Amino acid sequence: MKATCFNSIYAALILIGLATPVLAQEIFSPSVDKSGNISFPADYRSTMEHLGSWFVPTGGASGFHHVYTEMESVEYFQKNGVFPDGAVLVKELLVSEANNYTTGEGVHSANGEYKQWFVMVKDSQNRFTDNPVWGDGWGWALFKPGNTSKNLATDYKKDCLACHVPAKGTDWIYTQAYPALSE
């Protein structure tokens, strides 16, 4: 009786152990469905770490660019120098506002007016070769205020890649602006 019970438990543990990698493969990223459609991670500000910010004073992408990713992705990058598969990076673009203060002229993004969000999902295995928003090791997405349910990028090569060409040597990411990656 004890041997039968032990064998049953042992068999169950083996099956769980064999099934776990399959389950892990099915859950590539909570922001990506099985067809490679990228969804907007609405809770990114409360669940992700702020990597760093850019300020672009003029042009179509002017304003503050704040970038976020998961804490696990930061830790992985610090150890390995690359982002892990499934890592989600969110860049929010906010309208800037300049004012004169007692300390001098200052620029801030505290007005809360979003221009757009860029979302990238790391994929070194090229899982979605038939989806035109995936390639060069990433999934690429663009979301606008008022409709964060629709990725407006339709082809990453046309819609996204040109801005990242200077960062090709760092896996398309401007890592020099993100102190959290080297802490």
Full set of structural domains in the chain with CATH: 30-181 (3.50.70.20)
Closest CA to 141 of 132, 152, 131, 128: 152
User: How confident is the model over 54-82, as a mean pLDDT?
Assistant: 95
Range of lowest pLDDT (11-25, 29-43, 121-135): 11-25
Say if strands 63-69 and 49-56 run parallel, antiparallel, or are unpaired: antiparallel
User: How confident is the model over 54-68, as a mean pLDDT?
Assistant: 93
Of residues 57 and 110, the one with the higher pLDDT is 57
pLDDT at 24: 38
pLDDT band at 36 (very low <50, low <70, confident <90, very high): very high
Range of lowest pLDDT (12-26, 49-63, 110-124): 12-26
- Percent residues over pLDDT 70 in the chain: 85
Kindly compute the dihedral angle of the four CA atoms of residues 132, 144, 94, 86, in this order, to the nearest 10 degrees.
-40
User: How confident is the model over 170-177, as a mean pLDDT?
Assistant: 95
Gap between the Cα atoms of 179 and 52, Å rounded: 7
Say which residue the tokens 């060409």 belong to.
Answer: 165
pLDDT band at 162 (very low <50, low <70, confident <90, very high): very high
Of residues 6 and 82, the one with the higher pLDDT is 82
Residue type, 91: K
The model carries a pTM of 0.83
pLDDT band at 4 (very low <50, low <70, confident <90, very high): low
User: How confident is the model over 118-135, as a mean pLDDT?
Assistant: 97
For the cut 80, the answer to whether the pLDDT of residue 105 exceeds it is yes
Query: Residue 43, exposed/middle/buried by CB under 10 A (0-12, 13-18, 19+)?
Result: exposed
pLDDT band at 60 (very low <50, low <70, confident <90, very high): confident
Gap between the Cα atoms of 171 and 122, Å rounded: 10
